[in-house]
Structures are given as C-alpha cells and as structure tokens.
Amino acid sequence: MSQSADLLDCLVVGAGPAGLTSAVYLARFRRRLRLVDAGESRVQWIPRTRNVLGFPDGIGGTALLARMREHAACYGIEPWAARVASLARDDEGIFEAAMEGSGAIVRARTVILCTGATDIPPDIEGLDAGLRCGNVRYCPVCDGFETQHQRVAVLGREEHGLREALFVAGFDNEVTWLSMGTRQDVDSAAGERLAACGVRVANGQPRRIACSPGEGIAVHMEDGASLNFDVLYPALGQRHASALATALGARAGEDGQLEVDAHQRTAVPGLWAAGDVAQGLNQINVAAGQAAIAATSVHNFLGQP
Ligand SMILES: Cc1cc2nc3c(=O)[nH]c(=O)nc-3n(C[C@H](O)[C@H](O)[C@H](O)COP(=O)(O)OP(=O)(O)OC[C@H]3O[C@@H](n4cnc5c(N)ncnc54)[C@H](O)[C@@H]3O)c2cc1C
C-alpha cells in the first residue's frame, strides 16, 4: 500500500451514536474522514428512550437517530451505506478497509470502530411481535424505571439471568426468573439473595409468547403451563461486532467486547473503539462519551491537520 491523496485521516466504521459522535468531533477538528454504516443501529429498536439528556419527554429511537444524522450533516457528513468486510494494516500502519459486495477500498491513517453489538435472542415463537408491542424489552438499565410494581419475567441462564432478575427486582417488581433449567448452576448464596428479593424461579423452557398492546404477555412453557407477565426481559447476553479488530490482534473479552485504554485505544496501533463494541456500559450516553474521547485522541495522535 502506498500513500496517496485518497488517504483519509480517519475511517469511522458504524453510524450509531458512537460513530456519529466520532464523525462530528473529527469534522470539527477539520479532519478528512469517512463514515461507513451497515444501517443496523440498536437505537432503531428503542420505542422511546427516557435517559438521554435534553429530551425530558423522551424520544423514539428512529427520531433520535435522525436528529443525530442531521447534526452530522451540518458538517457535510453523510454515512456511506456499506459494510466493511475486512480491515488490514500494512507495515507503515496504514489501514485498508474492503467493502462487502462492491469490494471498494478505503484507506486511512486511523480507524475508530463503532460497530456496536446485538442482543442474543431466545429461540421463542412470537418474540418480534412482543418487541413491537413493547412487552418484550432488552435493556433494564434503560427502562427498568418504567416497570415499577409490575409482573416482570427475566429469561436468562445461570449468573447472567440471575443478576438481571435481581436488578429488575430493585424496581419493586414481582419478578420471575425463567432460568431455563440452570438454577442449579448458581451457588446457594445467590439462591438466598433471590429469595430475599422475593424473586420466584420457573425452571422450564419457554416455547411461545403471545401479547397484545396494553394487555401484557403470556409465556407458554414446554410442559404446557402458561405464565402471565407485564414485561419480559430476555437476558442471554450480547454479541459484540469486534471481529474486524480482533483479526488485527485487538484483545477482547469472552463476549467479544474490545479491551480499550483510557483513550479508547485498542491493542492495535492506530485503531480505536467506542460504543457498545468497546468495554463499558452499553448506553447511548456512554457511546457518545467514549466517541468524544476516541476522536480527540485520534486528532492528537495525527498531529497538525
Ligand atoms: C430495545 C432497546 C432499547 C434500548 N434503550 C436504550 C435507552 O433507553 N437508553 C440508552 O442509553 N440505550 C438504550 N439502548 C442501547 C443503545 O441502543 C446502544 O447502547 C447504542 O445504540 C450503542 O451505540 P453504538 O453506536 O455503539 O452502536 P449501534 O447504535 O448499534 O450502531 C452500530 C452501527 O455499526 C454498524 N456496523 C456494524 N458492523 C459494521 C461493519 N462491518 N461495517 C459497517 N457498519 C457496521 C451497524 O449496522 C450499526 O449501524 C437500547 C437498546 C435496545 C436494543
């Protein structure tokens, strides 16, 4: 790879809150950048977020994303609809990203990876309809507040499911942990914490859910039982979209979330990560904060524009 006029200061991969914030900061630092996006931001699944400051009445995910894109457009940034299929780094530290399908190549001195994560869905009939109704939710940190004094089910295995059941119980809910038969895998101290918080445990396998707006949700179990709730939280973890970075030698946890330092740098020189794909709490405010740190670090690394 040789240096040439088409060489960018920075390639930002992913245009959710992290990627759009990175792009706005870099543009305001007068950097040459490109923002590539596959169009699957988790923000699109948010019925109404109420913990993003500046929107006291809340705002729908698609509307929020549109406003963020509008903000980026003020600086001439339009996300390029494409998916980065591979990322390489040459001996001089220049990155080469190849787009899926077209094979188009983008070359950059630095990369900020903002590719996010996806929730692992349970294999249950009726799940998408439940999400559309608002009865199935994925993020108690985001909307646990809205569940207070309701019948809430948490569907998840082992420690992860148990921790989320305890978290949701903290909102004065009547909580049932649908443990998928893994209750025996948690120690007795954890069992005692569940009991102390009044969390019930249902051990069988849920097979199908049925819901209609405003009427709660019925969970039909494999053994024929049917359980009724207001809200169901699947808690099977997430897959972090970090393969482009780990292929270059970046370090990640078991769930794929990338290890980063205080400046959002991965272990690969020239490669930063921000948002859900990077270590930290998976939240919009955190994604934006990490992106601000990453973009400023990239700017300082690159030297004078
Ligand atoms: C149902 C639900 C409700 C939520 N509610 C809230 C809430 O109320 N408050 C809150 O703070 N958070 C909420 N969240 C979490 C929030 O959506 C995420 O924390 C946030 O979207 C993370 O932003 P991000 O930019 O890191 O990733 P994302 O927004 O997921 O964006 C990542 C982008 O990268 C793109 N991408 C991935 N791989 C590639 C590739 N190879 N090439 C090009 N592009 C790629 C994806 O297509 C996507 O557009 C909620 C999430 C869900 C699912």
Query: How far is it, in rounded angstroms, from Cα 135 to Cα 151?
Result: 11
Query: Which has the higher per-residue pLDDT, 145 or 187?
Result: 145
Read off the pLDDT band of 86 (50, 70, 90). very high
Read off the pLDDT band of 5 (50, 70, 90). low
Query: How far is it, in rounded angstroms, from Cα 154 to Cα 162?
Result: 8
Q: In angstroms, what is the span from residue 267 Cα to ligand 1's centroid?
A: 23
Q: Of the residues 43, 135, 231, 282, which should be mutated to test ligand 1's pocket, given the most ligand atoms within 8 Å of the CB?
A: 43
% of residues, the chain, pLDDT over 70? 98
Pinpoint the residues of the chain covered by CATH 3.50.50.60: 8-118+238-302, 121-234
pLDDT higher than threshold 50 for residue 1: no
User: SS3 for 285?
Assistant: helix
- Mean pLDDT value of segment 122-151: 91
Query: How far is it, in rounded angstroms, from Cα 108 to Cα 298?
Result: 12
Q: What angle do CA 283, 285, 289 make, to 5 degrees?
A: 115
Report the chain's mean pLDDT, rounded to a whole number.
93
Query: How far is it, in rounded angstroms, from Cα 223 to Cα 221?
Result: 5
User: Which DSSP symbol is given to 172?
Assistant: S
Atom of ligand 1 nearest to the CA of 285: 11
pLDDT higher than threshold 70 for residue 3: no
Q: In angstroms, what is the span from residue 50 Cα to ligand 1's centroid?
A: 16
Query: How far is it, in rounded angstroms, from Cα 276 to Cα 283?
Result: 7
Q: In angstroms, what is the span from residue 19 Cα to ligand 1's centroid?
A: 10
The string of pLDDT tens digits covering residues 249-266 is: 999 999 999 999 999 999
Q: Which residue has its alpha carbon closest to ligand 1 atom 51? A: 42
Q: 8-118+238-302 is classed in which CATH architecture? A: 3-Layer(bba) Sandwich (3.50)
Q: Quick one: which of 284, 237, 204 has its CA closest to 120?
A: 237
Q: Of the residues 136, 284, 285, 290, which should be mutated to test ligand 1's pocket, given the most ligand atoms within 8 Å of the CB?
A: 284
- Chain centroid to Cα 272, Å, comes to 17
| Pairing outcome for strands 238-240 and 117-119 | antiparallel
CATH number assigned to the domain covering 121-234: 3.50.50.60
Q: Which residue has its alpha carbon closest to ligand 1 atom 9? A: 142
Query: Which has the higher per-residue pLDDT, 286 or 214?
Result: 286
Give the C-alpha distances (Å, rounded to integers) separating 161 from 112, 183, 201, 292: 32, 10, 11, 32
User: Which DSSP symbol is given to 98?
Assistant: E
Strand order in the sheet with 217-221: 206-211, 217-221, 226-229
Alpha helices in 74-217 (DSSP H): 127-133, 140-143, 158-169, 188-196
Residues whose CB is less than 8 angstroms from the CB of residue 70 and which lie 6 or more positions away in sequence, other chains included: none
Q: Of the residues 100, 106, 142, 143, which should be mutated to test ligand 1's pocket, given the most ligand atoms within 8 Å of the CB?
A: 142
Atom of ligand 1 nearest to the CA of 116: 27
Query: How far is it, in rounded angstroms, from Cα 175 to Cα 86?
Result: 44
Read off the pLDDT band of 4 (50, 70, 90). low
Atom of ligand 1 nearest to the CA of 284: 11
